[in-house]
Chains A and B, each alone.
Chain A
Amino acid sequence: MAASAKAQGYRVIGTRPVRHDGVDKVTGRAKYGADYSFPGLLYGKVLRSPYAHANIKSIKVDKAAALPGVKAVITADDLPALADKMEQAGEQALNLAQLSANILARGKVLYDGHAVAALAATSPHIAEEALRLIEVDYEVLPPVMSVEVAMKPGAPILLPGLRNKDEGPDKQTNVATHLQFKRGDLNEGFKSADYVVEREFKTAMVHQGYIEPHNAVGIYNPDGHATIYCSTQGSFVVRSLSAAVLGMPEGNIKVVPAEIGGGFGGKTTIYLEPLSVMLSKKTGHPVKMTMTRAEVLRATGPTSGSTIRCKMGCTKDGRLVAAQIWMAYEAGAFPGSPVGAGAMTIVAPYNIPHLLVDAYDVVVNRPKTAAYRAPGASNAAMASETVIDELADRCGLDPCDFRIMNGAKEGTPQTAGPPYRRIGFIETLEAIKSSPHYKSKLEGRNRGRGVASGFWFNVGLQSSAIVNIHTDGTASLVIGSVDIGGTRAAQAMIAAEVLGLDVNNVRPLVTDTDSIGHTDVTGGSRTAFATGWAVYEAAQDAVRQLKERAARLWEKKPEEVGFDNGQFVVQGDGVKPMTVKELAGRLARTGGPISGRATVNARGVGPAFATTVVDVEVDPDTCKVEILRATVAQDVGKAIHPGYVEGQMQGGTAQGIGWALNEEYFYDDKGILRNSGLLDYRMPTCLDLPLIETCIVEVPTPGHPLGIRGVGEVSIVPPPAAVANAIAHAVGVRMTELPMSPPRLLKALLGKRGSAETQAAAAGR
């Protein structure tokens, strides 16, 4: 039972064993999606639009099909037409017609890089040559590249059928959704404020930046069944979405998840998978498709750029009283930006009585956005956490103390209304305050320290787990949760803890969609929480069955058998305790093999908070910002494998720093992406970061047998604002645009110096 597991000190949980798949990964033996090969393999490639916005008048594929080595060419005409409405597809709310049109354009291309056709050939080089022989006749249209342009009356319309509730059924629009959250009385709120800060922010579109490009191998069998090998965060999502796009029964597709080289949310949808199956169907061969880096940047979902107007007020003793936010996020070519999450996270860490948030999901001629680690929240925190920093400065309060004073606790209402249960926000602030970093003095010119906090909901969803007890007393653990960051080890540790086994005697196995029950994505900070719960219960199920066997051997009732410290015990009679190993050798004669099983649709999700402090130094001539020191504190409920928990915290912090300082999509005035490579889409290198200090805070999630709180996402939320606040304290400029790259910071600094000089000159006259 949950209580007894928590009451004892843990034997395995909280230790740092070497991960079970570790040797395969450091020797190059682990198979990622692009590493698979099959007899008769063909190579698929995609033709992509060179225009940001155009009607497709015609597509001629005959020359390409005639090139020796080319075996099949497909367009959207080879895929079924799907209903143009929101549907429950897997656990996501999706418009399947739009998903299909994103995979192969129907009638219109909506971004530079939009897929138009695909083909398979005997070598990837022949496939590339053949792409050039496909003739597409485009009618070029004016591109719409920003939310401002998209929302202006008279803007070119991307999707003729798009409507929103505000504008009504007869008005064509680029605004897909308007969400609003309201609490209290805004006028009353601002009236009672002593200080009010209002700023407008612009954040640039950024990409998840996983090092491994997308891949898929599709194998279609003449009996109508298909297998897909791919790197994905969710094999069940690939199955259900591919089946829908292909018009195949879901059960006819088996998805085998390969090892995955990063996802961060970007691999929770599909691009190549249905194309590889369709090409395999047409050719009778397995077809492997991989994206180049340019394709990844041009045509897979980045996260939204955004415009956010944030106005907040507080009393002079530092109480937040009112917040008014207007936010518009780029959805890309089809609706579905994370603006809703942005709206619900923006002031989530605080208890603010008067609140109005208006949030707009806006289509633009950019790739359809996909999830990126706490989607929507980092944009929002850039706005709110820098405004709060200014208010704290005005009040003369330490930034941590300001947040502690206003911080959400159990019972505080969230933005959408429901009250928080037990959370650990205040604890992260206290951890930062007492950290060696925060206690140290920062000295030197052009150096500054900045603090920011962040919130993410985390999700629960469905997971399945099976624990097999082997005759030698070891166990195998079968799960469907793809392992992106070491979760396989954590799951094995949970099972080992419950079973009283050494962690190396529990072998975790991530398996395909036929071999395990439904399991939702590895994402949303849910794997340790929900799959961990299923694993815990499956292991308990195995223990229950083992107890029954021990009872049979001892001729006792199962209720009389105890399980403690890896041993089965029974009262009295001087009966010797029995280990799992000893019992396992006797399973055949006591009833047969034992498998424990459990499934969850996990409830009672514990949300996550993080607080980050960074020290920066700004070069006054080049405006390069060096991160001198960074510390992140995060409430993780219970750290199963602290090494991988620290890794999540450090990784999110690093991505947030890249988002803060250098990363942005750069489109020219024709809507063409000019930095579709990793030289100019500039992510942090080893030389750009210091060691990243971590403070693991553990406030257990009530109701979870191990108290786990999802850990994967929230650490990316505070860094952009923390860096902005540090820059403000270093050189006295408040940056309101991301990234705070050298040219932007230089412009702001010169502007500040210019106005200061003008003022000084005027004063001196």
Chain B
Amino acid sequence: MAKKVVVEATINGEQTEFLCEPRQSLLEALRDILELTGSKEGCLTGDCGACTVIVDGRPLCSCLMLGVEAQGKTIETVEGLAQPDSLHVLQQKFLEHASLQCGICTPGFLMSAKALLDHNPKPTEGEIRYALAGNLCRCTGYDKIVRAVADAAQTRASGTGRGGRLGSGPSASEQTERFLQGQEVK
């Protein structure tokens, strides 16, 4: 067993230092060393997205990154979304729309959705589905998740509580078409 390594990273806005073995994934480091169990293990192969965190502004599967690779990086997990006295608008909308049933995929979806809205504040339904395609949910059929994200975007943009722009914009398959043709996908 190789010696443990000291890793320094900014996690949810806090300068953090932890020890981990080189063979441990970032997911393991978050859950077992830092006790941030909000990110979940679903597959360990990057296929389900339950472990999604945001690293230097990009959403990625923490099961596919080593803990030691967190050195010097800025990491956001679900534990950092809410303020002490208020939820993030995405968290609020997920609750209002009943977008979670068992809830195990919810942290991953929230992080992917946050990354989407941070880059694209007014996504179409197709863009929402595209951005969330790496997160699997087995309970909801995604309907209420998509509605919640659209509503969150609308709420942030207008400051009102009205619903989002569903059914407008390019369809999900057109989105994929554009991507495959090398066109820019916003």
With both chains docked as a complex, state the minimum distance between the C-beta of A115 and any C-beta of chain B, in angstroms. Answer: 19
- Among A25, A208, A650, A692, contact of B103 (Cβ-Cβ < 8 Å): A25
Bound CA–CA A650/B139 (angstroms): 8
- Choose the segment among A27-35, A162-170, A392-400, A509-517 that binds chain B (4+ C-beta atoms closer than 8 Å): A27-35
With both chains docked as a complex, state the minimum distance between the C-beta of A641 and any C-beta of chain B, in angstroms. Answer: 8
User: Is A678 at the interface (CB under 8 A from chain B)?
Assistant: yes
Bound CA–CA A648/B141 (angstroms): 9
Bound CA–CA A697/B48 (angstroms): 34
Is B103 within 8 A of A261, CB to CB? yes
Q: Which residues of B contact A654 (CB under 8 A)?
A: 138, 140-142
Bound CA–CA A650/B136 (angstroms): 15
Q: Which residues of B contact A35 (CB under 8 A)?
A: 31, 37
User: Is A16 at the interface (CB under 8 A from chain B)?
Assistant: yes
Is B47 within 8 A of A644, CB to CB? no
User: Is A335 at the interface (CB under 8 A from chain B)?
Assistant: no
Q: Which residues of A contact B121 (CB under 8 A)?
A: none
- Grouping DSSP codes into helix (H, G, I), strand (E, B) and loop, the A interface class, with mixed when no group exceeds half, is loop
Known: A683-B138, A686-B146, A687-B176. A27 touches B38 (CB 8 A): yes
User: Is A26 at the interface (CB under 8 A from chain B)?
Assistant: yes
- Among B41, B81, B110, B133, contact of A213 (Cβ-Cβ < 8 Å): B41
Is A647 within 8 A of B38, CB to CB? no
Bound CA–CA A292/B41 (angstroms): 9
Known: A26-B100, A125-B23, A211-B138. A686 touches B105 (CB 8 A): no
Known: A213-B41, A678-B48. A687 touches B172 (CB 8 A): yes
Please provide the chain B residues from 8 to 63 with a CB less than 8 Å away from any CB of chain A in the complex. 21, 23-24, 31-32, 35-45, 47-48, 50
With both chains docked as a complex, state the minimum distance between the C-beta of A113 and any C-beta of chain B, in angstroms. Answer: 16
Known: A29-B38, A651-B141, A687-B133. A644 touches B98 (CB 8 A): yes
Please provide the chain B residues from 140 to 159 with a CB less than 8 Å away from any CB of chain A in the complex. 140-147
User: Is B104 at the interface (CB under 8 A from chain A)?
Assistant: yes
Is B101 within 8 A of A677, CB to CB? no
User: Is A260 at the interface (CB under 8 A from chain B)?
Assistant: yes
With both chains docked as a complex, state the minimum distance between the C-beta of A620 and any C-beta of chain B, in angstroms. Answer: 15
With both chains docked as a complex, state the minimum distance between the C-beta of A562 and any C-beta of chain B, in angstroms. Answer: 35
Q: Which residue among B50, B144, B145 has the maximum number of chain A CB atoms within 10 Å of its CB?
A: B144
User: Is B107 at the interface (CB under 8 A from chain A)?
Assistant: yes
- Among A32, A647, A686, A692, contact of B139 (Cβ-Cβ < 8 Å): A647
Is B136 within 8 A of A18, CB to CB? no
Is B45 within 8 A of A211, CB to CB? no
User: Is B124 at the interface (CB under 8 A from chain A)?
Assistant: no
Nearest neighbor of A264 in chain B, beta-carbon distance: B138
With both chains docked as a complex, state the minimum distance between the C-beta of B9 and any C-beta of chain A, in angstroms. Answer: 18
Bound CA–CA A327/B126 (angstroms): 42
Please provide the chain A residues from 680 to 722 with a CB less than 8 Å away from any CB of chain B in the complex. 683-687, 689, 691-692
Cβ proximity bits A205-230 to B, threshold 8 Å, 1 near / 0 not: 00011111100000000000000000
Q: Which residues of B contact A537 (CB under 8 A)?
A: none
Of the four ranges (under 10, 10 to 19, 20 to 34, 35 or more), the interface on chain A belongs to 35 or more
Q: Which residues of B contact A692 (CB under 8 A)?
A: 141, 143
Bound CA–CA A264/B142 (angstroms): 17
With both chains docked as a complex, state the minimum distance between the C-beta of B78 and any C-beta of chain A, in angstroms. Answer: 4
Known: A27-B82, A644-B101, A678-B43. A683 touches B136 (CB 8 A): yes
Is A678 within 8 A of B47, CB to CB? yes
With both chains docked as a complex, state the minimum distance between the C-beta of A35 and any C-beta of chain B, in angstroms. Answer: 4
Is A211 within 8 A of B137, CB to CB? yes
User: Is B6 at the interface (CB under 8 A from chain A)?
Assistant: no
Q: Which residues of B contact A32 (CB under 8 A)?
A: 37, 40, 104
Nearest neighbor of B110 in chain A, beta-carbon distance: A26
Nearest neighbor of B45 in chain A, beta-carbon distance: A677
Is B48 within 8 A of A211, CB to CB? yes
User: Is A737 at the interface (CB under 8 A from chain B)?
Assistant: no
Is B139 within 8 A of A28, CB to CB? no
Is B136 within 8 A of A647, CB to CB? no
Q: Which residues of B contact A683 (CB under 8 A)?
A: 136, 138
Q: Which residues of A contact B147 (CB under 8 A)?
A: 691
- Among A28, A264, A648, A685, contact of B39 (Cβ-Cβ < 8 Å): A28
With both chains docked as a complex, state the minimum distance between the C-beta of A313 and any C-beta of chain B, in angstroms. Answer: 36
Q: Which residues of B contact A644 (CB under 8 A)?
A: 98, 101
Known: A29-B38, A626-B173. A210 touches B138 (CB 8 A): yes
Bound CA–CA A21/B32 (angstroms): 24
Known: A22-B100, A209-B138, A679-B45. A28 touches B77 (CB 8 A): yes
Is A290 within 8 A of B41, CB to CB? yes
User: Is A643 at the interface (CB under 8 A from chain B)?
Assistant: yes
Q: Which residues of B contact A22 (CB under 8 A)?
A: 94-95, 100
Cβ proximity bits B98-114 to A, threshold 8 Å, 1 near / 0 not: 10111111110010000
Please provide the chain B residues from 71 to 110 with a CB less than 8 Å away from any CB of chain A in the complex. 77-79, 81-82, 87, 91, 94-98, 100-107, 110
Q: Which residues of A contact B104 (CB under 8 A)?
A: 32, 210-212, 261-262
Bound CA–CA A646/B101 (angstroms): 11
Is A686 within 8 A of B145, CB to CB? yes
Q: Which residues of A contact B40 (CB under 8 A)?
A: 32, 34, 211-212, 261
CB-defined A-B contacts under 8 Å, sample of 11: A32-B104, A125-B21, A125-B23, A260-B102, A261-B42, A485-B101, A650-B144, A651-B139, A686-B128, A686-B135, A686-B142
Q: A28-B37, A484-B102, A486-B101 are in contact. List 11 more A-B contacts (CB 8 A).
A: A21-B103, A25-B106, A26-B103, A27-B78, A28-B107, A209-B138, A259-B102, A293-B48, A643-B97, A647-B98, A692-B143
- Residues of chain B touching chain A, judged by Cβ–Cβ distance below 8 Å, are 1, 21, 23-24, 31-32, 35-45, 47-48, 50, 77-79, 81-82, 87, 91, 94-98, 100-107, 110, 128-130, 132-147, 166-167, 172-173, 175-176
- Residues of chain A touching chain B, judged by Cβ–Cβ distance below 8 Å, are 16, 18-19, 21-23, 25-32, 34-35, 37, 125-126, 208-213, 259-264, 290, 292-293, 484-486, 626, 641, 643-644, 646-648, 650-651, 653-655, 677-679, 683-687, 689, 691-692
